[in-house]
Structure formats: C-alpha cells, structure tokens
Amino acid sequence: MAPTEEANPREVFWAKSGDAYPRLIKLARTFLSIPASSGSVERLFSVAGAIVRARRSKLSSVTVESLLLAKGNH
C-alpha cells in the first residue's frame, strides 16, 4: 500500500520502513494483525453458554474459566 495523507500512521511507517526491517515487518504482520473472523470468539461464547446454565449457575468464575480453557485446548 502506498502511503497517503489519509492512511493510518502505522501503515505509512511500514510502507516506508518495511525494507529496512524485514524480520520486524514479518513479526508485525503475524502478531499485530486482526483476525479476519470472529468465529472463534462466537464459539467460545456458545461453549460458555452451554457450561453456565441455570442448573450450573453456582459454578465459580475460576471453574468456568478452567472448563473453557480445557475445552479450547483439547
């Protein structure tokens, strides 16, 4: 993307400095990019809703967090 007056300052920086920092630009693209979909978050909320039902409403937040972590990492 060519830098323009209306462009995001970060985009302008990377457009100008990308060649000088090839490793850094690769890391930035990997770790600073925004996911294209919110599907994983929606699945997490769906699983959380299945775990925390009326019959299980007394589960502690630590227990719910542990269950969600276990479900997400299996």
What are the domain boundaries of the chain? 1-33, 39-72
Q: At residue 1, does pLDDT exceed 60?
A: no
Q: What is the dihedral angle through the alpha carbons of 46, 51, 55, 59, rounded to the nearest 10 degrees? A: -130
The span from the CA of 55 to the CA of 57, in Å, is: 6
What are the pLDDT digits (tens) for 11-64? 888 888 888 989 998 888 888 877 667 777 788 888 888 888 767 778 888 988
| pTM (2 d.p.) | 0.40
Which two structure tokens, joined as six digits, stand for 4?
Answer: 């323009």
What does the pLDDT read at residue 38? 72
User: Does the pLDDT at position 71 exceed 60?
Assistant: yes
